[in-house]
Amino acid sequence: MLKFQVHSPGKVILHGEHAVVYQRPALAAVVGLGTTLKFRQQAGSHVASFQLEALNCTLEIQLAEFNAFLADFRSKYPADSNAKLLEAVRAEVAQQLERSVGSNPKQHTQRAFVSIYYLLAGAVLSSPIDPQMTLQTGFQVQVDSGLNVGAGLGSSASFGAALATTFLILAGHFDRESYLQDENQALISTSAFESERVNHGNPSGLDNTVCTYGGMLRYVKGQGFQSLKIQKPLSILLVDSRVSRSTADIVAKVRHLAEGFPQLIEAIWQACEELVTAAVPLYESFGNAQDDSAKFEKLERLFQINNDLLKAIGVSHPKLEQIFTIAFKRGFFSKLTGAGAGGYVIVLLPENYEQNEVYWKLKEELESAGFGVHVTTAGGEGLRVSSLDD
């Protein structure tokens, strides 16, 4: 019986959030927090069970119903009809949730189930092994996440990439030995993007790309990405404001602002692009031990400038401002990450920060103020598949 686990990291946007929606470059990096998915086939079972710890729920798909759905879809549409498939999945999931959960399931639960059903159906319908493939053996999927939902760390993309990898392996697109080949990583990222469409409507494609490939990326919507050749991951403090928000709502508000003041907001996007251009060589050379202190000071200033640009488009929040003030008072530079209006703040940490007494005072003060604090890195490994021993 097939069993394995997938670890898919979350991400932070270092520079260029919001501007990336308007075809400006963004820099993003994976973080040391992420989603862990454990997959186990179960002989004799005819149910696909999904335990989602972050949402505190279990979802089930009866294989007979799923195979009937596939048969009905194949009779009506070609296998690559993604728009039609998503439409059909939404209708099917709504019926199933009403029967099993009740008529008013939580929005996060409904979106998660649509993502699961959509990615699973898409992987099976496009199986290179058998164009008429069905699922005959049940399985259990357990998903644990160190990423808060809706907080700007790419939780939905991390979840989508882990699911996509699992279902693509199950449907025979590739195996545990070949998933890192270029064409297979591209397939994982594309499938995770489809999951992002469920959650965000019109995503930039940044989150699924960086969660899949890892490291640090320069990304332009519609033009793909370039991996930065960084010397080593960057040490950061992620501070959770504990304020949740909707990325789609905030993006819509910024778009409304851009429509009202087009030239002014365009100037801000131009400044964001210049900032990314200035940041790339600093990130790529930082860590080679040649004048790192001067480079670090420049990165700190870029953090401050970037944060002020984001404040100018109205995506800060009183809780974020409190974090910025605490950090600045202790001599640390910080910025919001992602959509803003809540979510996380990144605090840039110097080398040997653990030997710095002021760092420990910063951490203590942030925790005393009620914020979640996670020491991690930006720029590590991307998605990985490994064996499951138990």
Q: Could you list the active site residues?
A: 156, 207
| Rounded distance between C-alpha atoms, residue 310 and residue 18, angstroms | 8
337 half-sphere exposure, CB direction, 13 A CA radius: 30
Q: Which residues pair with 372 in a beta bridge?
A: 240
Pairwise CA distance, residues 77 & 88, whole Å: 11
Q: CA of 105: how far to CAs of 110, 112, 162, 248, in Å?
A: 6, 11, 23, 20
Q: At 310, phi and psi to the nearest 5?
A: -70, -35
Adjacent-strand bridge partners of 27: 15, 218
- 339, two tokens: 């959509």
Q: Are 162 and 383 in contact (CB under 8 A)?
A: yes
Residue 354 DSSP code: G
- Measured CA to CA, the distance from residue 335 to residue 118 in angstroms comes to 35
Q: Which residues of 169-182 are buried (b: 16+ CB within 10 A; e: fewer)?
A: bbbebbeeeebeee
CA distance 358 to 362: 6
Q: Which residue has the tokens 């930082």?
A: 286
